[in-house]
Structure 1
Amino acid sequence: MTNRIMTLTVAATLLASTAAMAQDKPKIGAAVYGLNAEFMQIWAAALEQHPAVKQGLVEVTVFDGRYDALVQQEQFETMVTQGFDAIIFVPIDIEAGAAAVKVASDAGIPVFGSNTRVNSDLLSAYVGSDDVQSGYMEAKYVLDKIGCKGNVVVIEGPIGQSAQIQRLEGNMKALAECPDVKVLEDQTANWSRAEAQTLMENWLTAHPGEINGVIGQNDEMALGAIEAIKAADLDVKSFAIAGIDGVTDALLAVKADQMASILQDGAAQAQGALDLAIKAVDPTYEPMSEIWKTYADMPWNNGADKEYSVPWTPVTLENVDALLALRQ
């Protein structure tokens, strides 16, 4: 009987210890604008591959915002109610997202931005890339290829999201350097390949033989334009086409010499934000992601900076095979 009591006591102690450990494990929420396309799927998968998550040191829950600011607001309210320790935010709308950040801030929960921006002074820090720069880079590629003359179309992201706003600023900066280039059409396709394909089909009909270049503010939309061009039995290589993100199909299209792309390292943006979120919960925490070694120009600085800028990587024929290998 004594041995049985001792066994039960030890078991109870172990259970209590396990429960305490589970209770002490930081609970981080990641509110992303939507998970329909590959880029944000890569971003979310990187969180699951973070060493702290794989070792069970932190619990991460990803919330699909379904491209709706109101849905994201409700998800923040849920995370507050459920007592999350920190939140990583990828907002669909630069202005509407500020209300969600305030909800968390009022509850004492730190919020870390990643990938897209929110217009709020309450954000603890931001990990992303310079979208003005990428917008300029992609437009310049298209303009250089058409010799700074002719006609282009611009396919924008969701109106009101920071990437759309800033990439358009970069697009316009490059276009200003080529006054002889005319923008025939400029509309949003909401980061959607299907929507961009429909737009491009309509534009090819409305402007037969007149479109020389396509500036797609992300790869999905540039790929949609390519599908429309193929469906019209036109030669894709007779157009200058560019996108942003470095998704797998875009890498393949670059390899086939059908478009240009700029790799946005969503994995670095996600894992960097998670390191910062864990640091906010546990001040003794040291970053576990390899990204801080990968990008020497983006030092950790003890997690004290407000801005962490992940560099862009232009996709070229020289590096595309190595980038594709990382997707396998």
Structure 2
Amino acid sequence: MKKIMKPRLLAVTLALAFSAAVQAAPVKIAVLMYGMKAEFVQLMEKAGREHPAVKQGLATLTLFDGRYDPLVQNNQAETAIATHYDAIIIDPADFEANVDVVTMANKAGIPVIVSNSRLNTDRATSEVVSDDVKGGYLEAKAVLNKMNCQGNVVVLEGPIGISGQIQRGQGNDRAIKECGPGKVTVLERKTANWSRAEAIPLMENWLQKHRGKINGVIGQNDEMALGAIEAIKGQGLNVKDFAIAGVDGVSDALRLVKAGEMMSILQDGRAQMQGAIDVALRKVKGNEYQPMSPIWAQYTGQLDWQDGQAKMYEIPWTEVTAENADSLLQMRQ
């Protein structure tokens, strides 16, 4: 009898050990970022590495640099699916073209969470984003309030076709329209592709072309607004004579808000990334998983976990002020 039981006991023991090993295996998450050059994206990456589940080895992140090319991101999604990642988080480069990532992931049965930028589909597992129409409205309103809704502005746009450019532009237009007919004129509107370097020569050209006529600068992100400031200073002009605002709350922008040289609306990339990781883990591990990021407590009353099942998680915006700039910077130490 004992001779019969021992192999069975061994088989059961091995099966239990194998099951435990499978259960303990970290969840593999592929994170497809549209590009890795800007500080804001680097802050998102840092936040991902600092998620409690990642630090404890319950999940692993592999970041893919999309190089600002939607086709590169689509190819990276194919790689993630072929190499059996458990979940995909995507910060898409293009509102339309990267819908293919969702289509491919759905066919493979892999949850895909959209973070930061949006996609023109309702078939993603969830979205963890901020309302870019509102963000664009808030930054434009800050500029226009300083101008008393009177004068001329230029608009530095994000990459054409990305949701941030489309939706922040809608918010910009709404704020301008609220000033009333004929009150505010948009002298120029062109993309600088989220880039400080690209914004500098663009703003230099505009300052020459519209000498003495530009009152406000609406940068659809902080990097472009910072480039505009460099151009203004480079031409020997007083930056405080202009109303300038951006979106994101990157470190240099926080310092210049404190100095009174610009305005910024903080986009919480940490919450977008860590929230997306929590939602991804809930989809993979099931209802046993409880959110581990502190962002849910941080935004109590504004952001509800909803058992990780909501299609949309909207991360609130924060207006950067001279009073809160230092504390926001200290959070990045």
User: In which range does the TM-score fall when normalised by the shorter chain?
Assistant: over 0.9
Looking at structure 2, the residues matched to 18 and 193 of structure 1 have their Cα atoms a distance apart, in angstroms, of 51
- Structure 1 segments, 4+ long, off by >6 Å, are 16-19
CA contact (8 A) 2:29 2:88 kept: yes
Looking at structure 1, the residues matched to 37 and 20 of structure 2 have their Cα atoms a distance apart, in angstroms, of 36
Q: Which residue of 1 aligns with 2:303?
A: 298
Q: Which residue of 2 aligns with 1:89?
A: 90
1:245 corresponds to which of 245, 248, 257: 248
Looking at structure 2, the residues matched to 217 and 119 of structure 1 have their Cα atoms a distance apart, in angstroms, of 20
1:36-57 deviation digits (Å, cap 9, x = unpaired): 0000100111110000000001
Q: Which residue of 2 aligns with 1:67?
A: 68
Looking at structure 2, the residues matched to 70 and 101 of structure 1 have their Cα atoms a distance apart, in angstroms, of 14
Q: One-letter code of the match for 1:253?
A: L
Do structure 1's residue 167 and structure 2's residue 171 form an aligned pair? Answer: no
1:118-149 deviation digits (Å, cap 9, x = unpaired): 11222001111111111111111111111111
Q: Which residue of 2 aligns with 1:212?
A: 215
Do structure 1's residue 99 and structure 2's residue 100 form an aligned pair? Answer: yes
Looking at structure 1, the residues matched to 142 and 28 of structure 2 have their Cα atoms a distance apart, in angstroms, of 43
Q: One-letter code of the match for 2:32?
A: A
- For 1:244, what is the secondary structure of its paired residue? strand
Q: Which residue of 2 aligns with 1:154?
A: 155
Looking at structure 2, the residues matched to 45 and 256 of structure 1 have their Cα atoms a distance apart, in angstroms, of 27
1:285 corresponds to which of 289, 311, 317: 289
Q: Which residue of 1 aligns with 2:327?
A: 322
Looking at structure 2, the residues matched to 267 and 323 of structure 1 have their Cα atoms a distance apart, in angstroms, of 12
Q: One-letter code of the match for 2:230?
A: E
Looking at structure 2, the residues matched to 27 and 19 of structure 1 have their Cα atoms a distance apart, in angstroms, of 17
Unaligned residue ranges in structure 2 (runs of 5+): 1-13
- For 1:184, what is the secondary structure of its paired residue? strand
Displacement of 1:60:
1.1
State, as a whole percentage, how many aligned pairs show the same letter.
59
- For 2:114, what is the secondary structure of its paired residue? strand
Corresponding residue pairs, total? 315
1:11-70 deviation digits (Å, cap 9, x = unpaired): xx8xx8699359832111110101100001001111100000000011111111010001
Displacement of 1:317:
1.1
- For 1:282, what is the secondary structure of its paired residue? helix
Looking at structure 1, the residues matched to 21 and 67 of structure 2 have their Cα atoms a distance apart, in angstroms, of 35
Displacement of 1:301:
1.2
Looking at structure 2, the residues matched to 278 and 234 of structure 1 have their Cα atoms a distance apart, in angstroms, of 51
CA contact (8 A) 2:157 2:193 kept: yes
Q: Which residue of 1 aligns with 2:206?
A: 203
Superposition RMSD on alpha carbons, in Å?
1.6
1:87-109 deviation digits (Å, cap 9, x = unpaired): 00110100001112111111111
Unaligned residue ranges in structure 1 (runs of 5+): 1-12
Looking at structure 2, the residues matched to 122 and 316 of structure 1 have their Cα atoms a distance apart, in angstroms, of 38
Do structure 1's residue 130 and structure 2's residue 135 form an aligned pair? Answer: no
Q: Which residue of 1 aligns with 2:317?
A: 312
Question: For 1:23-102, what aligned pairs fall within 5 Å after superposition?
Answer: 24-102=25-103
Q: One-letter code of the match for 1:293?
A: A
Looking at structure 2, the residues matched to 59 and 25 of structure 1 have their Cα atoms a distance apart, in angstroms, of 6
Q: One-letter code of the match for 1:291?
A: I
Q: Which residue of 1 aligns with 2:276?
A: 273
- For 2:110, what is the secondary structure of its paired residue? coil
Q: One-letter code of the match for 2:231?
A: A
Looking at structure 1, the residues matched to 97 and 117 of structure 2 have their Cα atoms a distance apart, in angstroms, of 13
